[in-house]
Amino acid sequence: MIGSDTHIHRIQKLSVERNDEKNDLQQLNDSLGIYIQQVKELELRNNQLRSQIIAQKPKGGFDSDSLKKQYNKDLLLLRQQLDTTAINLELTQLQKAEFERATWSNQHRISFLRKFFTTDKQRLLLCTQEIERNKAELDGVRIQIENKKQEVERTKSVMNEQSDYLENLEREYNEIIKAHVVINIQLKTLQEESFFLKAVFEEECEELLSRGTLHIDVSQFYRTELSRAIANIRKDYQTLSNKRHQEWETYYQMKTEEIKTEITEQALKQKNANKTNDVGSMDVKTLKATLEEFQSSYTVLQSENVILISRMQTLEEQYGSIQFERHQSLFLLEQQIAALLADYNESRSKISSIHESNVTLQFEISTYRRLLEGVSTSTPTKTREIALQWASTSTANFSAMNLKAPFVLRWAETVKVTGSMILLPTTFIGPKGCSGVSFAAVYYTSNERVIVEATITDQFNFNNYGQYQVTIYYVNSKVAIGSWTIQLEPKGGICMPKQLLLRDSINNSIVGATVQLLLLGQVVFQSTSDKSGIVNLPKTLLENCYDIQIDTHADKYKIGKFKRIVFQNRGAESETFYIYRQMKSDEVEFLLTWGEKPSDLDSHVYVSDGRHVSFSNKQETNVSLDYDCREGGGPETIKVKLEPNMKYIYAVHRYTKDGELAKSKATVNISTNEDLGSGLPFHVVRVPNVNQPDANFWVVCQIDGTTKKIKYFENAFENSDECNTDQFIRKFYNA
């Protein structure tokens, strides 16, 4: 910037100097003009005098030489003036040429300086952009540092958990050692008891042998008596054992009291000896013995400590080996899962082909059954062809594909119908587990065409997608006109994407959110969003419908809940999921998104007291446009704090006219603090796909600020394009 200022100062100085030179040159030109005018006047006078002389010569009477002498000096003077004037004129021309050359040179210098200034300006702009990029990179580095800090904290927590786990293992090991000691004691007790019982048994045997040979029924008498005797002996032994235990406890308490008394006496003796400086030889021996006893205890404790350290190392090695085995088992399980997935897909394809054959067989069986029952008793002698066509399903979340359709129907001439539009009955055979699926066939007699349309009420029922055998019948008849196979498949909009992009309702990236995929209530995948809010999903998911749950771990956001279907890799490469802010009981949030055309839609909120919030007025009391999107697609987010005795109208305006509003695929998600009954944290409203080419406003809903109830309008469009007035909106306040 300093160099540019210096160049500008030089240019200004040169410009002032050239202006001064130009003024001087102008003055010289003016003086030269005066001289030339004087010369012309003198030449004119000279010519007049010459003509007078020529006129006087014939007359004679005067001396021309004397006249010549008289005016010769004036003539010489005039010639000198003319020469001087000519010289001045030449000098002026030279100065003019020099001035023009200097002017051209200055202009060239000025042009060069301007180019140099432009280059400096571009360099400054590049430097500014580079600074902005460096700032962005610095912010990225800061975010990475924060992420690393979080990873370090998580690692610390994992290390603490591992330490706690090792401590628990050590405690369990100590408890096992204690239990082992107790078991050894019990084993010794049982061994002593068995020895005692063996001795008693041998004594009884000897006593019986001494009495002579007796005929005893061992199976009845001996076993009963022996069992009773053993029970009595065991009882006596238990009593004796308890008694001995009590005696040992009493003996231990007595010895403990004696030792305590002896220690107290020794302490008193030591105290008295310190006072009298008289320590007996008996006390010294006692102290030495005590010291030796302490040293031996210390040695034992040291050995136990060494044993514990070795056990700790052994436990750590065992833990490492267990962890390694666990990783290996996980790797083997992943390989097994991949193999099972391949087997599953192969089996599924086989089942699909079998199901197709089954559907065809069922249709043939039903046809033969109707023939046997006499439903189709005769074949019309004359028929005419009617075109068969599937209705457009551009707004539906599924697509219909003809597999074995005839594209024309053979209509019997004997079957007469009245009216321009006839609804024909249909039946179908679909995949196992399908529900909420229906097929409607309408016969338009004016253009001889049958339009067939499929409807799916539960778009996230995975069993609703597959092959259907559809049959159309004559009106009020069981006679079939025709039948064919159709394949219903989910569109990409409801299929699982390969990548999730997490944003909040005002389009900020969400970092560190936990994303879970659940199948039948079980978590099958879990990951965390990166610094850009991106989560990459696995490519090995089984074909089915999955629940997606997103937890940001922040109190200001709701738990995100979505559903997506995995079907033949039909998902998009990336899809943006918006996580909504927590709302209070009197707050509502509107989030608008749309398709490619029109390229720009706008959100508007009208309040019954005259307030109006949109892109031109983003803030009013308790109503704010928190995010305005002008690059297409959305989101546009408006937050409203409801007030009693007020009514609110939410509407969508077509700002650019490069497409129809009704064909814009606009979607409005309405978020409150209530459960809206859909299992999702928001309510979805889609623009009706109707014929409204001139519509500029789509009036979505009305909210009563007192009751907080939302009333949705059906096909409410307005052609008015006045954004800054509520004249056409007022009628919806009382609708």
Which of 22-31, 140-149, 719-728 is predicted with the least confidence, judged by mean pLDDT? Answer: 22-31
- Tell me which DSSP letter residue 614 carries: B
113 phi/psi in degrees, rounded to 5: -65, -35
Nearest CA among 591, 575, 600 for reference residue 493: 575
Looking at the structure, do residues 468 and 505 belong to the same domain, yes or no?
Answer: no
Contacts of 436 (CB under 8 A, 6+ apart): 456, 457, 458, 461, 464
Number of helices (H), then strands (E), belonging to the chain: the values are 5, 28
Domain annotation covers residue 285: no
158, 185, 212: which is the final residue of a domain? 185
Sign of the Cα torsion 655, 661, 665, 666 reads positive
* Prediction pTM value: 0.48
Determine the length of the chain.
735
pLDDT in tens, 295-325: 676 677 777 777 777 777 777 677 667 766 7
Across 19-28, 340-349, 419-428, 656-665, which has the greatest mean pLDDT?
A: 656-665
pLDDT score of 571: 83
pLDDT score of 215: 43
490, 513, 537: which is the final residue of a domain? 490
Describe the crossing of helices 281-372 and 64-210 by its angle, rounded to 10 degrees. Answer: 100
Q: How far apart are CA 39 and CA 43, in angstroms?
A: 6
CB 570 within 8 Å of CB 492: yes
pLDDT score of 735: 76
Q: How far apart are CA 417 and CA 415, in angstroms?
A: 7
Q: Which pair of tokens denotes residue 589?
A: 């949030």
Looking at the structure, do residues 479 and 520 belong to the same domain, yes or no?
Answer: no
Looking at the structure, do residues 421 and 505 belong to the same domain, yes or no?
Answer: no
Q: How far apart are CA 584 and CA 642, in angstroms?
A: 10
Q: How far apart are CA 365 and CA 367, in angstroms?
A: 5
Neighbour tally for 546: CB within 10 Å = 23
CB 3 within 8 Å of CB 120: yes
pLDDT in tens, 400-440: 555 444 567 777 777 777 777 888 888 888 888 888 888 88
Q: Is the pLDDT of residue 43 over 70?
A: yes
Q: How far apart are CA 586 and CA 705, in angstroms?
A: 8
Domain annotation covers residue 40: no
pLDDT score of 288: 62
Looking at the structure, do residues 609 and 705 belong to the same domain, yes or no?
Answer: yes
Domain annotation covers residue 644: yes
Using DSSP's 3-state secondary structure scheme, residue 314 falls into: helix
Torsion from C-alpha of 726, 732, 733, 735, nearest 10 degrees = 170
Looking at the structure, do residues 556 and 609 belong to the same domain, yes or no?
Answer: yes
How does residue 63 score in pLDDT terms, banded at 50, 70 and 90? low
Describe the crossing of helices 223-276 and 281-372 by its angle, rounded to 10 degrees. Answer: 140
CB 202 within 8 Å of CB 208: no
Q: Is the pLDDT of residue 614 over 70?
A: yes
Looking at the structure, do residues 139 and 157 belong to the same domain, yes or no?
Answer: yes
**Distance of alpha carbon 304 from its chain centroid, rounded?**
57
Which of 150-164, 392-406, 555-569, 581-595 is predicted with the least confidence, judged by mean pLDDT? Answer: 392-406
Q: Which pair of tokens denotes residue 702?
A: 């009305």
- Tell me which DSSP letter residue 463 carries: G
How does residue 188 score in pLDDT terms, banded at 50, 70 and 90? low
pLDDT score of 499: 92
Looking at the structure, do residues 455 and 569 belong to the same domain, yes or no?
Answer: no
Helix (H) or strand (E) holding 452: strand 449-456
pLDDT in tens, 378-405: 444 467 777 777 775 544 556 655 544 4
Q: Which pair of tokens denotes residue 671?
A: 């978020």
* Average pLDDT of the residues in 48-71: 66
Helix (H) or strand (E) holding 23: helix 2-56
Of 394 and 122, the one with more pLDDT: 122
Q: How far apart are CA 429 and CA 724, in angstroms?
A: 55
Looking at the structure, do residues 527 and 470 belong to the same domain, yes or no?
Answer: no
Nearest CA among 670, 720, 667 for reference residue 697: 720
pLDDT score of 37: 79
Q: Is the pLDDT of residue 238 over 90?
A: no
Looking at the structure, do residues 574 and 477 belong to the same domain, yes or no?
Answer: no
> CA–CA distance from 256 to each of 246, 247, 250, 259 (Å)?
15, 14, 10, 5
**Distance of alpha carbon 78 from its chain centroid, rounded?**
100
Q: Is the pLDDT of residue 200 over 70?
A: no
Contacts of 82 (CB under 8 A, 6+ apart): 39
* Average pLDDT of the residues in 8-34: 73
CB 687 within 8 Å of CB 666: yes
Of 577 and 116, the one with more pLDDT: 577
Q: How far apart are CA 547 and CA 562, in angstroms?
A: 6
Looking at the structure, do residues 603 and 638 belong to the same domain, yes or no?
Answer: yes
Nearest CA among 565, 533, 572 for reference residue 548: 565
Domain annotation covers residue 542: yes
pLDDT score of 550: 93
Q: Which pair of tokens denotes residue 294?
A: 């302490």
Looking at the structure, do residues 535 and 674 belong to the same domain, yes or no?
Answer: yes
Torsion from C-alpha of 673, 676, 682, 684, nearest 10 degrees = -150
Of 49 and 232, the one with more pLDDT: 49
Domain annotation covers residue 611: yes
Domain, as residue range, for 598: 499-734
468, 490, 512: which is the final residue of a domain? 490
**Is the backbone peptide bond immediately before 406 cis, with ω within 30 degrees of 0?**
no
Looking at the structure, do residues 608 and 665 belong to the same domain, yes or no?
Answer: yes
Across 168-177, 349-358, 551-560, 635-644, which has the greatest mean pLDDT?
A: 635-644
522-528 and 499-504 beta bridge pairing = unpaired
Domain annotation covers residue 639: yes
Q: How far apart are CA 244 and CA 320, in angstroms?
A: 48
Which of 120-129, 139-148, 282-291, 570-579 is predicted with the least confidence, judged by mean pLDDT? Answer: 282-291
CB 627 within 8 Å of CB 618: no
Q: Is the pLDDT of residue 502 over 70?
A: yes
Of 702 and 237, the one with more pLDDT: 702
Q: Is the pLDDT of residue 689 over 80?
A: yes
Q: How far apart are CA 397 and CA 495, in angstroms?
A: 9
How does residue 153 score in pLDDT terms, banded at 50, 70 and 90? confident
Q: How far apart are CA 95 and CA 28, in angstroms?
A: 10
- Tell me which DSSP letter residue 628 carries: -
CB 635 within 8 Å of CB 629: yes
Using DSSP's 3-state secondary structure scheme, residue 583 falls into: coil
Q: How many domains does the chain fold into?
A: 3
> What's the angle, vertex CA 240, arms to CA 236 and CA 245, rounded to 5?
150
Domain annotation covers residue 386: no
Domain annotation covers residue 131: yes
Q: Is the pLDDT of residue 643 over 90?
A: yes
CB 537 within 8 Å of CB 496: yes
Q: Which pair of tokens denotes residue 363?
A: 């249709």
Burial of 642 (0-12, 13-18, 19+ CB in 10 A): buried
